Chain A
Amino acid sequence: MARKKIREYDAKRLLAWHLKRLKGIHIPVQVAQVVDGGPSLAQLAKPTVDTEDHVTESVSETPVLQNGFGDHLFEEWNKDKSWLMESKLVVKPDMLFGKRGKSNLVKLNLNLDEASEIIESLLGSSLEVEGIKGRVTHFIVEPFVEHDAEYYFSVQSCREGNLVSFGCCGGVEIEQNWDKVKQVTIPAGEDPTGLDTILANQDLSFQVREQLEQFIKGCYLVFEDLDMTLLEMNPLTLNDRNHVIPLDMRCELDTYAMFKNQKKWLDIEFPESWGAQFTDEEHFIRSLDEKSGASLKLSLIHPKGHIWTMVAGGGASVIYADTVVDLGMGDELANYAEYSGNPKEEETYLFARTILDLATRYPDGKKRALLVGGGIANFTDIAATFAGIIQALKDFHGKLQVAKLKVFVRRGGPNYETGLRLMEELGEELDIPIEVYGPDSNMTCIVQKAIDWIRD
């Protein structure tokens, strides 16, 4: 399972769409998204007129479909944004971080001009939220909803099934009122008959209870059908026409289920978490990783650091990073990188090239080390895997000399002797220092050697 957060804008659209499709329930969700570099809020608000010269409905109803998911009809529904000019608005950054109310980032009851001003002042700028800095690139804009009651509702997958929670005490102070929240676990694969108990003994009028019951049952169906791992609404309320509407919502999907849900998940995106702005090189490795059956990962930590790593295996790579830090050189640890699952030679080559490019970018006269480490491979041919790395080293050998980079290799597995010998010979051929170790030396021995080299 791989849980990934999605934006509130996408979560609300998915929910509205599929509630209608699965249960015929209509929730009056109207959302607009302003993206850094895209059309401004004022531009989005201009009414759309189609070729037959009739303006689309101002109250958006999600059309129910007979077959498929009718992506083109979804687009139509999405296009009509005339409500931006007709209602008072709520504006929030939509960047996968919570506690926006407490951070004073929720702006209410604005007209279009006021909303545009707020967005303009914050869009594209840097912000620090709970200690993490990031750039605000997306805003969600919705109609301001007058309401009284604030409910809390969530569904979350857990070991035994799905944990459903509901409370009449929703809102900013939910944590203090957590004891008033009712919970029930629906065992995996079972019909959610237990959901009725969630609303029992809660202080609700008959009419409201009925509405909420329908809504909660519908949400549960959507949760299961879309392979969600988390769906949380706080607060949830009813508008003046007694329709249930989530004011604040958060959602996570299991991306391992991507292969079956591409159509159901429509056009939503899976953004990186707040503060995780990626460099071009990290993006590049991610795209390699996505296309490959193997695993290729790169995270930059201290781009000007003097200890670089390129380790085989998810577990081993974490160990190398830990060992560098344990030995007191955490500030010099430039990156985390791992490759595993038998990547092709071209993939290893591009992977190694990217790391060497970064490692030789800031020559400063001081020595650097590259740890080409790993454990004992089970079935990858070491000599074959090294082929890609060796080619990359050849490409960069001039820069390696300028950057005073020494390569430390530790590896075991099928054909490792040949692999290590090829590395040694390469060192002689290109006149760059390369030290090799096989399975007789422990896995992280090269870390201390690299540190000694740098400090010398």
Chain B
Amino acid sequence: MSCALFGSLKRVWRTLACSSPRLFSSSSVTNRPPPYVDKNTKVIVQGFTGRQGTFHSQQSIEYGTKIVGGVSPKKAGTMHLGCPVFATVEEAVKETKADASVIFVPPPGAAGAIEEAIKAEVGIIVCITEGIPQKDMVRVKTLLNDSTKSRLIGPNCPGILKPNECKIGIMPGYIHSPGCIGVVSRSGTLTYEAVDQTTKYNLGQSIVVGIGGDPFHGTTFMDCVDMFLNDSHTKGIVMIGEIGGNEEEETAELLKKSSIKKPVVSFIAGVTAPPGRRMGHAGAIISGGKGTAASKISALESAGATVVRSPAAIGAAMVEKMKEFQVNNVQSAKN
């Protein structure tokens, strides 16, 4: 009897894709806070007194973010950047009534930091850390599923920003301007391009969310697009996706089913990557047919989105799309 080949992984992936229940339903279903921040959001920083925590907190404070304190067990009881330092998240939340937390803790302690924030019922938890082991993230996701009070953004993400009001994370504040375009992205660098262009075209941004490049992450494209569709200040949506996974396809479904329609412009990175090859992020891997750029592009186009072939075209495409929508709205008003 000959020795065997291995079972088909392709088959297992197909099973998973069809049968897996949605782990993170949109906010409108779970009552979890939507991915939204503004000038009233009170933020604490976990890993406050470390090098990364200090540098980015300084930048956030200069931007106008309401940083109300931080957590650092070794320096509890002291002041840092004009804010109190606490030993635990629970204490910090109790004293400051914080709504959000940003985590600058290295991989060995990062999952624990997220768990601490969930247990303290922090509303928006932004985890910047890259390199958290999968087993740790699976445990975090279970905790999150049981919680209705907390939303995780990330890990391995640049953060969330509302122009001139609140900057939680490491993105460059100065390229943003207050306006009406909601931006959601898996890639940090490309987000800044989309933001820069929409600023230059005088559209500005309503909220910008970087959901991060890891395969396991707390906030999805669907969560953000759902929020944008329901937010009266957001008039247009920019979505920057990557090869791997099927969130872009699921978002296309959401767009189709939604009674609210808004102009959507998208760009998918990694078109030329062959299957099985890893480029850029650990999350951008194609497996077994699903998750190719082609499947995402066709799904989004069938949902009415414009998918540009170059990130340079995002701003101009949005201007065009907004005009189209205005014309259509006027037409339907006339009819």
Contacts and interface: CB of A to CB of B under 8 A. Distances in A.
A256 B132 contact: yes
Contacts of A312: 189
Interface in A328-371: 330, 336, 338, 340
Nearest to B185: A315
Interface string A311-324: 01111111101110
Interface string B263-302: 0000001111100100111101000000000000000000
B135 interface: yes
A161 interface: yes
Nearest to A445: B312
A166 to B, nearest CB: 11
Nearest to B3: A106
B134 to A, nearest CB: 3
A449 interface: no
A374 interface: yes
Contact of A187 (B142, B186, B197): B142
Nearest to B213: A314
Given A232-B6, A315-B187, A442 B312 contact: yes
Contacts, number: 213
A2 B20 CA distance: 21
B4 A314 contact: no
A385 interface: no
B7 A175 contact: yes
Contact of B271 (A1, A172, A256, A322): A322
A449 B46 CA distance: 45
B190 A315 contact: yes
Given A101-B5, A256-B134, A315-B188, A413 B12 contact: no
B225 interface: no
Contact of A156 (B12, B175, B193, B280): B12
Contacts of B187: 313-316
A247 B2 CA distance: 11
A311 to B, nearest CB: 9
B141 A188 contact: yes
A313 B171 CA distance: 13
Interface string B123-146: 000000001111111110110000
Contacts of B9: 230, 232
Interface string B151-173: 00000001000000000001110
Nearest to A379: B170
A378 B172 contact: yes
B138 to A, nearest CB: 4
B16 A158 contact: yes
B82 interface: no
Contact of A102 (B5, B158, B213, B214): B5
Given A229-B134, A254-B135, A413-B172, A326 B310 contact: yes
A260 B110 CA distance: 13
A170 to B, nearest CB: 7
Contacts of B1: 147, 150, 171
Interface in A144-203: 147, 150, 152, 154, 156-161, 163, 165, 170-172, 174-175, 178, 183, 187-189
Contacts of B332: none
Contact of A250 (B6, B107, B135, B312): B6
A154 to B, nearest CB: 6
B170 A315 contact: no
A355 to B, nearest CB: 17
Interface residues of A, number: 81
Main secondary structure on B side of the interface with A: loop
A65 B270 CA distance: 48
A81 interface: no
B325 interface: no
Nearest to B158: A378
Nearest to A256: B133
A283 interface: no
Nearest to A414: B172
A266 interface: no
A234 B2 contact: no
B280 A375 contact: no
Given A315-B242, A439-B196, A1 B282 contact: yes
A227 interface: yes
Interface in B1-44: 1-9, 11-12, 15-16, 20-21, 23
B248 to A, nearest CB: 15
A427 interface: no
Contact of A189 (B5, B142, B197): B142
Interface in A411-438: 412-414
The 7 A-B pairs of least Cβ separation, nearest first, read A315-B187, A1-B134, A442-B312, A313-B189, A314-B280, A257-B133, A375-B189
Interface of B: 1-9, 11-12, 15-16, 20-21, 23, 55-56, 59, 107-108, 131-139, 141-142, 158, 170-172, 175, 186-190, 192-193, 196-197, 213-216, 242, 269-273, 276, 279-282, 284, 309-312
16 contacts: A92-B3, A159-B16, A159-B23, A170-B4, A189-B142, A224-B135, A247-B3, A250-B6, A256-B132, A259-B107, A322-B270, A323-B310, A338-B280, A340-B189, A377-B172, A379-B172
Given A108-B3, A227-B133, 20 more contacts: A90-B3, A100-B5, A101-B4, A108-B2, A174-B4, A174-B7, A178-B8, A247-B4, A254-B134, A273-B276, A313-B188, A314-B213, A314-B279, A315-B190, A315-B242, A318-B273, A322-B269, A326-B310, A376-B192, A378-B171
Interface of A: 1-3, 90, 92, 98-102, 106, 108, 147, 150, 152, 154, 156-161, 163, 165, 170-172, 174-175, 178, 183, 187-189, 224, 227, 229-230, 232, 234-235, 247-248, 250, 254, 256-257, 259-260, 273, 312-319, 321-323, 325-326, 330, 336, 338, 340, 374-379, 412-414, 439, 442-445
